[in-house]
């Protein structure tokens, strides 16, 4: 009963209601984009964009301080959205030009994002400690504007990620094939990066920019161990993401822990469980189905070749003239 009373008290708080709404939205949206990033082997893209978002946070903080806004970080999230989208497009341009490798571009954004954010915050009269809430998440900073912005951005992310799934899957599975099919591959690649940037912006209040990439990737990795299709992986990853963010937020209400760290640890624990359960489920499925032909619609080549040779031999023997055995043997030899 005490736990139920505590949960009722939590739900009675407008701040916690806003935080729970954002947490569920983040848990649903992050794995959708993460599924495409994992398929394209860009698991660290979220980290790079997150560091760039710090510059936007600092610029928004500086603008708020200059304009006398209350609170001073009122424009931090809009600034993060603009900076992360610009960073995502920059990464795609670098990858498309091919002059700098993708991992090198991400490394430059890693270092430049943190350094630029700290410098701009210092110039606005703050300190690097002012970025802590954005680095690791803080539910105490969630405002009504943040909630409505998260609702709008999440709706856009889900609309693009699910509505364009066939085209985006073709791109992520084989970019050359997608190009041969007439798909605008650069535009789709940029769209995936922009959606990743928006996901980072939505998630940083709850998870923090340093840990948001884990929420995009770890639920997908867990789902891959338990499913056998791209669509199934995405659906299960969305369920895992929503569950760990919701449970993690409840835990941080009961215990004074960092919400971002708690959510990520829960996601990793589920991955550890899936890494044990997944192979066991696969072995059980194979035992139940038994040995199966991987190509049931195609005749066995050896059987077909053998039957053809046997039929040819029979025709040669039947066509051999009656007489001594030598002529018959020569006839069979010629037919084979």
**199-225 pLDDT tens trace:** 988 888 788 887 888 999 999 999 999
For the chain, domain boundaries: 2-289, 302-335
DSSP three-state, residue 74: coil
CATH fold of 2-289: ABC transporter involved in vitamin B12 uptake, BtuC (1.10.3470)
Rounded CA-CA distance 326/80 in Å is 92
Residues 6+ apart with CB under 8 A from 330: none
CA angle in degrees (0–180, nearest 5) for 61-64-67? 150
Low-confidence ranges of the chain (pLDDT < 70): 1, 97-103, 126-130, 290-336
Return the residue matching tokens 């791109």. 171
Average pLDDT, the chain: 80
- pTM (predicted TM-score): 0.78
Measured in degrees and rounded to the nearest 5, phi and psi for residue 138 equal -160, 115
Predicted local confidence at residue 158, as pLDDT:
93
- Which pLDDT score is estimated for 130? 67
CA atoms within 13 A on the CB side of 22: 33
**Res 327: pLDDT:** 46
Separation between Cα atoms, residue 319 and residue 323, nearest integer Å? 12
| pLDDT, tens digit, 9 for 90 and up, residues 98-143 | 655 566 777 777 788 888 888 888 877 766 666 777 888 777 778 8
């Amino acid at each position: 009963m005490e736990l139920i009373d505590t949960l009722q008290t939590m739900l009675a708080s407008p701040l916690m209601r806003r935080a729970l709404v954002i947490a569920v939205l983040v848990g649903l949206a992050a794995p959708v984009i993460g599924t495409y990033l994992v398929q394209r082997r860009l698991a660290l893209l979220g980290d790079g964009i997150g560091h760039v978002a710090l510059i936007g946070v600092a610029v928004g903080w500086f603008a708020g301080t200059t304009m006398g806004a209350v609170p001073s970080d009122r424009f931090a999230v809009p600034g993060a959205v603009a900076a992360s989208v610009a960073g995502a497009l920059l990464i795609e341009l670098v990858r498309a030009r091919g002059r700098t490798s993708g991992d090198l571009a991400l490394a430059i954004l890693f270092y430049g994002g943190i350094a630029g954010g700290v410098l701009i915050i210092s110039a606005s009269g703050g300190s690097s400690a002012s970025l802590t809430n954005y680095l690791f998440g803080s539910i105490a900073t969630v405002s009504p504007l943040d909630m409505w912005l998260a609702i709008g951005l999440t709706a856009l992310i889900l609309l693009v990620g699910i509505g364009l799934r066939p085209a985006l899957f073709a791109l992520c599975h084989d970019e050359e094939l997608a190009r041969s099919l007439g798909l605008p591959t650069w535009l789709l690649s940029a769209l995936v990066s922009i959606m990743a940037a928006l996901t980072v912006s939505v998630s940083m209040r709850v998870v923090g920019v340093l840990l948001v990439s884990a929420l995009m990737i770890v639920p997908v990795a867990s789902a891959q161990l338990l499913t056998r299709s791209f669509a199934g992986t995405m659906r299960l990853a969305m369920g895992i993401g929503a569950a760990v963010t919701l449970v993690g937020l409840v835990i941080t209400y009961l215990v004074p822990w960092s919400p971002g760290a708690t959510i990520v640890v829960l996601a990793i624990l589920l991955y550890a469980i899936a890494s044990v359960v997944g192979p066991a489920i696969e072995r059980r499925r194979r035992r139940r189905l038994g040995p199966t032909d991987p190509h049931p619609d195609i005749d066995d080549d050896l059987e077909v070749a053998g039957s053809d040779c046997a039929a040819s031999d029979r025709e040669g023997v039947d066509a051999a003239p009656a007489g001594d055995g030598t002529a018959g043997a020569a006839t069979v030899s010629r037919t084979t």
